[in-house]
Amino acid sequence: MKRILVSQCLYGGVPVRYDGKSKEETDPMFLKWKEEGRLIPVCPEVWGGLPVPRVDAQRREDQVVTREGRDVTEEYMNGARKAVRLAEENQVVCALLKEKSPSCGSSRIYDGSFSGKLTEGQGLTAELLRKAGFKVFSEEQLDEVKDLLERHGDEGGAE
């Protein structure tokens, strides 16, 4: 069975988001993957040493800063490196990460102004995973993940 690295906030069970909540995914396909034990949850921000809840942060070019202006890039990088190691150790086929996150955003993140404006870009964890050769998807791309599993000879639990 092919495994998928997944954002802990999507996986659910443990509130890890900056606001102390989760964004548990409820799509039936996702829930089936979870039930099969296919998903490996990770929260790079918590793994990097940040608390829950925490001040929200956004990516500004190569840095991640909080609303208060504190540079938390090192914490984000530490968590991202741990996520890449976990992906490598488990030979995951891809990562399924929370869009818009400064860690996990795969194609859209907040622009760093704390105005709520989105821009094209990726979080640090998504960036490092891609550099390590992993495909990265958002929760908006579950069908693409299923297609990838099928291309790898795994029906995504559809036996």
- If one counts every other C-beta atom within 10 angstroms of the C-beta of residue 17, the result is 20
The reply to whether 38 falls in a domain is: yes
Number of domains in the chain: 1
The reply to whether 137 falls in a domain is: yes
The reply to whether 42 falls in a domain is: yes
**pTM of the full structure:** 0.94
Exposure of 65 in the CB half-sphere (CA atoms within 13 A): 12
Helical ranges in the chain per DSSP H: 8-11, 28-36, 44-47, 73-89, 124-131, 142-151
Report CA torsion sign: 120, 121, 123, 126.
positive
The reply to whether 33 falls in a domain is: yes
The reply to whether 144 falls in a domain is: yes
Domain containing residue 105: 4-151
The reply to whether 12 falls in a domain is: yes
The reply to whether 156 falls in a domain is: no
Tokens at 2, concatenated: 């092919």
Tell me the pLDDT tens digit for each residue of 18-72: 999 889 999 999 999 999 999 999 999 999 999 999 999 999 999 999 999 999 9
The pLDDT of residue 41 is 98
